[in-house]
Amino acid sequence: MSVSRRQFLGSLSSVALGSMLPVADSLAQGAPIKVGSVLDNSGNLDIYGKPMVMATTLAVEEINAAGGLLGRKLQPIQYDTQSDIALYTKFAQQLVRQDKVDVVHGGITSASREAIRQTFTRANTLYFYNVLYEGGVCDRNIVVTGSTPAQAVEPIMDVAMKQWGKKVYILAADYNYGQITAKWIAHYAKERGGSVAKTDFFALDVSDFGSTIAKIQQEKPSFVISALVGGAHMSFYRQWAASGMNKKIPLASTTFGVGNEHLALSPAEGDGILIAGNYSQESTDAANKDFLARWSKRFNDTKIVHEIAVSQYQGIMLWAECVRKAGSLKREDMLKAIESGVSIVGPGGTVTIDPKTHHAALDIKVMEVKNQKLTVKSTVKQRPPLDTARYCDLQKNPKENKQFEVNV
């Protein structure tokens, strides 16, 4: 059978038209609500971004299956930023000017968030940043649903210092997240009558920790706490175990598990590491079990579900709750709903927006790595974002727009 170019184009366009039919369908009941998202679905950071994109898809599909919001369907508009900051600014502009979205959920690293935040603030487009970060952003246009150091660090320091003792050795990634988290660790250690033996910072591509491991042994701390980030820093945990230190000095971490590090280490290497965060797949809460069942039905594999994927899902659900409460998408109505202490129950527990800071109060779990799983040891309910709250009061200063450097 021979097909002429014209015939081919003809059939192609009819296929395209056919696939647009569902959109036309939803137009009948009012234009869809546009939910924009910018996430790294490829490149270096896709270990974080891919599950977040899946979480976005799942959340939007679930809301649509339940009838949408305000009688309108949601239309996701998703851009892959390819782990490239330049693409963030480009797609943020596109979302605001061309697609004219009603809300944006996205950004992974703090650098990417700061690259796009002002674009949304200027355009009065509501922005949800759903990732744990170093804290301090104060801007009425943004809602942050991930945890900040003050939320996760204090519970873990409580448990670790009670279990192991008062002398702390800190290892952290050398950028704003690590630097600020290290300050909080030192703060909480001293508050509890402890001391910091030493603090070492590592550029993101450092993968040899031999000298550090020797120095740790010289200092003999009660325990080591790490805020190391990314693939290269994985080497620390391996070299730590290879030198047999994991049997001698206990290890805690604020970041371990976020990139599913516990799956890459063997049980012998990873067992016993203490961590704190909002989410564990092992949580027996009904909300979590139900969520994992739905995820596995949609994507088969639940292995890759991590804290910030759950965080993204919770962020979208929280936004949907705000829309229901506001009864409209108008900015003033939405802000009123956001600042009404709105709350949902997600896979990570209850998430409540704090009206003063636009950050979220979260349930923080202290967990232990056991046989490549994050076993929950204890839970601190509704931990408020104390670090940001020190500086930020959007009720008093609604025009505030900056990131405070938390200094303790």
Partner 1 sequence: MDYFAVVLLEILYMIAFLALTSAGLAVVFGMMRVINLAHGEFVMVGGYTTIACYRAGIDLWFAMLVVAPLVVGVLGLIIERLVIRHLYGRMIDTMLATWGLSLLIVGLVTLIFGNSAVSVQAPISSYEIGQYQMGGYNLFIIAVAALLMIVLWLVMRFTRLGLVARGAMQNRDVAASLGYNPGRIYMWTFTVGAALSGLAGGVLAPLTGLLPSVGSSYIAKAFITVITGGAAIITGTLSSSLLFGTVNQIVSFASMPVVGEIAMLTLAIILLRLMPQGITGRFFKNSA
Separation of CA 33 from chain center: 24
- Taking the least distance from each CB to partner 1, the nearer of 33 and 374 is 374
DSSP secondary structure code for residue 47 in this structure: H
Nearest CA among 147, 86, 75, 73 for reference residue 112: 86
- Taking the least distance from each CB to partner 1, the nearer of 223 and 237 is 237
The residues that touch partner 1, with contacts defined as CB under 8 A, are: 44, 46-47, 50, 174, 200-203, 205-212, 214-215, 217-218, 231-232, 234-235, 237-239, 241-245, 248, 259-261, 263-266, 268-269, 304
Least distance CB 326 / partner 1 (angstroms): 39
Least distance CB 347 / partner 1 (angstroms): 20
Residue owning tokens 């971490």: 253
Pairwise CA distance, residues 75 & 184, whole Å: 40
Does residue 13 come out as left (phi exceeding 0), alpha (psi in the -120 to 50 range) or beta? Answer: alpha
Least distance CB 225 / partner 1 (angstroms): 17
Separation of CA 157 from chain center: 21
Least distance CB 51 / partner 1 (angstroms): 10
Least distance CB 232 / partner 1 (angstroms): 6
Nearest CA among 58, 129, 29 for reference residue 293: 58
DSSP letters, 276-337, are: EES--TT---HHHHHHHHHHHHHHS--TT--HHHHHHHHHHHHHHHHHHHHSS--HHHHHHH
Nearest CA among 327, 335, 358 for reference residue 129: 358
For residue 258, report the phi and psi dihedrals to the nearest 5 degrees. Answer: -65, -40
- Taking the least distance from each CB to partner 1, the nearer of 275 and 342 is 275
- Taking the least distance from each CB to partner 1, the nearer of 175 and 404 is 175
- Taking the least distance from each CB to partner 1, the nearer of 228 and 380 is 228
Residues 6+ apart with CB under 8 A from 207: 232, 233, 235
Three-state SS for 160-174 is HHHHHCCEEEEEEEC
DSSP secondary structure code for residue 31 in this structure: P
Read off the tokens for 119.
Answer: 């674009």
- Taking the least distance from each CB to partner 1, the nearer of 234 and 345 is 234
Least distance CB 44 / partner 1 (angstroms): 6
Pairwise CA distance, residues 339 & 316, whole Å: 16
- Taking the least distance from each CB to partner 1, the nearer of 42 and 379 is 42
- Taking the least distance from each CB to partner 1, the nearer of 84 and 174 is 174
Least distance CB 193 / partner 1 (angstroms): 26
Least distance CB 57 / partner 1 (angstroms): 19
